[in-house]
Amino acid sequence: MPARVGVVLFPGTNCEYDAVRAVERLGGTAELVWHGATTVAGHDALILPGGFAHGDYLRPGAIARFSPVMEAVAAFAAAGGPVVGICNGFQVLTEAGLLPGALQKNRGLRFVCATSVVRVERDDSALTSGVPVGTELAIPINHFEGNYTCDAATLDELRAEGRVVLRYVDNPNGSVDDIAGVCNPGRNVVGLMPHPERASDALLGSQDGIVLLQALLRTASAPAPVG
């Protein structure tokens, strides 16, 4: 049975159809989940896509964190369900406390729209399961607030527990320790600034995002679906 992926749609989200299409092209099914929903039942995995949830007012993700659907997302994550936040979705997950740290304005106050090269650091997260450590992937980034930061104790913990999932080869935004993506202790919640769904077709210039999305679909199809 194909993995059923819920793509969470906040007012201001703008990458939802890219995510839906990428999932469907890889053999999964995808359905939009409106932010006012109070359940995410019927999904094997969730993607919080990119965009500007609630206009990014106050801080990216600061308002989205209080959207009704986030309680259901948190419960789904707590039950072990795979949850991936891409770009703005990553910001929402940190604001919601489902991932540690925060995403600050880029070094030099530069909006960055470019292809980044990221190195896979772990092969045991919901998004990188089975992807060999050391694999380098060319994946677009497109953000102003992608500068990952956290306090020293959190950084020590992330390193000690192997929770840095992706690192930039050439740090584009000032992120501490070149961090491009992290996961929670359960390794089922992953946030990353690069957009794998925008690197899922040769026409888009890169297909390097496919291995990540395939890993998510594999994780979603694994036993013990939740929701």
Q: How far is the CB of 154 from another protein (least distance, A)?
A: 8
Cα torsion 185, 91, 83, 127: sign: negative
Q: Single out the catalytic residue among 15, 16, 54, 87.
A: 87
Residues 6 or more apart whose CB falls under 8 angstroms from that of 160 comprise none
Q: Which C-beta is closer to another protein: that of 62 or that of 75?
A: 62
* Residue 211, token pair as written in the block: 């291995």
Q: Is 197 among the residues known to form the active site?
A: yes
Q: How far is the CB of 71 from another protein (least distance, A)?
A: 15
Q: How far is the CB of 138 from another protein (least distance, A)?
A: 27
Closest Cα partner for 33 from 100, 83, 99? 83
d(CA 40, CA 42) in angstroms, rounded, equals 6
Q: How far is the CB of 218 from another protein (least distance, A)?
A: 32
Q: Which C-beta is closer to another protein: that of 104 or that of 128?
A: 104
Q: Which C-beta is closer to another protein: that of 106 or that of 200?
A: 106
**DSSP per residue over 51-82, as a string?**
B-GGGG-SSTTTTGGGSTHHHHHHHHHHTT--
Q: Which C-beta is closer to another protein: that of 107 or that of 218?
A: 107
Q: Is 24 among the residues known to form the active site?
A: no
Contacts with another protein by CB under 8 A lie at 58-59, 62, 66, 94-95, 100-102, 104-109, 147, 149-151, 174
* Residue 182, token pair as written in the block: 């992290």
Catalytic residue annotation: 87, 195, 197
